[in-house]
Amino acid sequence: MKEFSKLEKKIGITFLNENYIKQAVVHRSYINEHPQFELGHNERLEFLGDAVLEIVVTEFLFLNYPKTPEGDLTNWRASLVNSKMLSLIAQEIGLEKYLYLSRGEAKDDNSKARQYILANAVEALIGGIYLDQGIEAAKKFVTKFMLSKLDNILSNKLFMDPKSRFQEKSQEIHKTTPHYKVLKESGPDHEKTFEVGLFLGEELISKGKGTSKQEAQVDAAERGIKKMEW
């Protein structure tokens, strides 16, 4: 039996109905393995929490940045609610140790899959907060853990995708446009893995991997940003 008081203290919310916080961390795989579990998985709560998160962030941006064009606001919102950001918040509040996972899922160290599970659990948690205590409590959570990141996102242009950020910096500092080259392809046609190199002129800056060329390029750009300390 998991005990949620430490998590409640961390997020600053004590649930009136503990089933909401508990269900928020139940992954579908756990229910497949434990069909008699007293609660369902978290996907319906996630569906609700996604909508609550979007309206809270959208309202905040709309009211606080009245002169910012819609396209920029869309990019800013995406940087606050994407799975990478949500999984970081999950780590910040220590959510992973509360997850109900199947034995196989618990052992799986695929960081990308775990990132999505954590991100979905954060959305489900927001849905649970909304059902338990209403929109103001959900706003309090989103403000504390998501909107507090906005200044850093704007000052470091983290709302731009990694390829755009790397290109902007390389043109600004080195007066050079980066280019990408496929270095290696492996695996069968339906499950290929690509390794891509990111170059400035002839210099290889970083390598990235992915299941598509685009994914590998984004990975290479992220690694390039870290390497160049941009």
Binding residues for Mg(2+): 46, 120, 123
Task: Determine contact, residues 201/190, Cβ cutoff 8 Å.
Answer: no
Catalytic machinery residues: 50, 123
CA atoms within 13 A on the CB side of 39: 19
User: Residue 192: left (phi > 0), alpha (psi -120 to 50), or beta?
Assistant: beta
Residue 103, Cβ density class (10 Å: 0-12 exposed, 13-18 middle, ≥19 buried): exposed
What three-state secondary structure class fits 179? strand
Q: Distance (Å, rounded) from C-alpha 146 to C-alpha 94?
A: 15
- Binding-site annotation: residue ranges: 46, 120, 123
Sheet holding 203-210, edge to edge: 179-186, 193-200, 203-210
User: Residue 163: left (phi > 0), alpha (psi -120 to 50), or beta?
Assistant: alpha
Q: Which of 15, 7, 30 is nearest to 127 (CA)?
A: 15
Residue found under tokens 């043109």? 171
Task: Determine contact, residues 218/211, Cβ cutoff 8 Å.
Answer: no
Task: Determine contact, residues 157/168, Cβ cutoff 8 Å.
Answer: yes
